[in-house]
Amino acid sequence: MPEILELLEREYPGATIALRYSNPLECVVATVLSAQSTDVKVNEVTTELFRKYRRPEDYLAVPEEELQQDIRPTGFFRQKARSLRGLCARLVEEHDGEVPRRIADLVRLPGVARKTANVVQSALWPEEVARDPDAGIAVDTHVGRLAVRLGLTDAGPKDADRIERDLMRITPRDRWARVAFLLIEHGRKVCDARRPRCEDCVIEHLCPSSQVAGKPDRYRLAMQARNRRPARSEA
């Protein structure tokens, strides 16, 4: 794992969250909005949103329907509006309007699951990741796919909990905050779900799924096995 991270770090030195934000509140809000949406769409929406809503109190000062309309293009807007208002209320009531740094506090915020908490902590306070006993590694669809292709886990690509544990076990703790951003960047730019560009991959020589080397794509095999499972149980 250290060699993979070193090569990816060299390839993507600035890899970080693709969502735009200028303070911790905006980072959390953008990350909540990114669920089931694209970073491009969220960045479009937050350009206006963050002009209008600057403090947690601002999200509570408008009718919920107004907030819903302001975030509507990101999808699931009713649920997200409810989460954002609950999240902001808790920030005001329990954290003096500030975003907490610890995972245990972040996951208590409405709409913030462990993946979101890991992303926020890694992006905003990477040094906290090394200290916080509850810290971990964010596993999204790219991280899951690459972990499977690279043979870093025996779990399926959708088993985020096990993949997170496996990645934590094989990664030096002071590198945890970088793992997700590097794998996501590589997944977006080179290791595409359908057509990985193995010929352009800087970690090809370390990959047990390399198409250049004619190896089986572990991700595709795992997905095929997964898709077959329900059909078998119905039979």
Residues in contact with ligand SF4, total (CB under 6 A)?
14
CB of 205 to ligand SF4, least distance (A): 8
The site map against ligand SF4 for 139-178 (x = CB under 6 A) is ----------xx----------------------------
Is 159 one of the annotated active-site residues of the chain? Answer: no
Residue 99 near residue 92 (C-beta atoms within 8 A): no
Place of tokens 């107004």: 66
Residues in region 185-214 near ligand SF4 by CB under 6 A? 190-191, 196-198, 201, 203-204, 207, 209-211
Residue pair 149/156 in contact (Cβ under 8 Å)? The answer is: no
Query: Active-site residue 215, yes or no?
Result: no
Taking the complex as a whole, how short is the minimal distance between the CB of residue 203 and ligand SF4, in angstroms? Answer: 6
Spatial separation of the C-alpha atoms in residues 204 and 181, rounded to whole Å: 19
> Which C-beta is closer to ligand SF4: that of 175 or that of 186?
186
Q: Judged by CB, which is closer to ligand SF4: 194, or 232?
A: 194
Question: Based on the number of CB atoms within 10 Å of its own CB, is 32 exposed (0-12), middle (13-18) or buried (19 or more)?
Answer: buried
CA dihedral 90, 129, 35, 17 (to 10 degrees): 120
Active-site residue, selected from the candidate residues 105, 134, 140, 217: 140
Instruction: Pick the closest to residue 107 from 87, 124, 123, 122 (CA basis).
Output: 87
Question: Where in the sequence numbering do the catalytic residues fall?
Answer: 115, 140
Binding site for ligand SF4 (CB under 6 A): 149-150, 190-191, 196-198, 201, 203-204, 207, 209-211
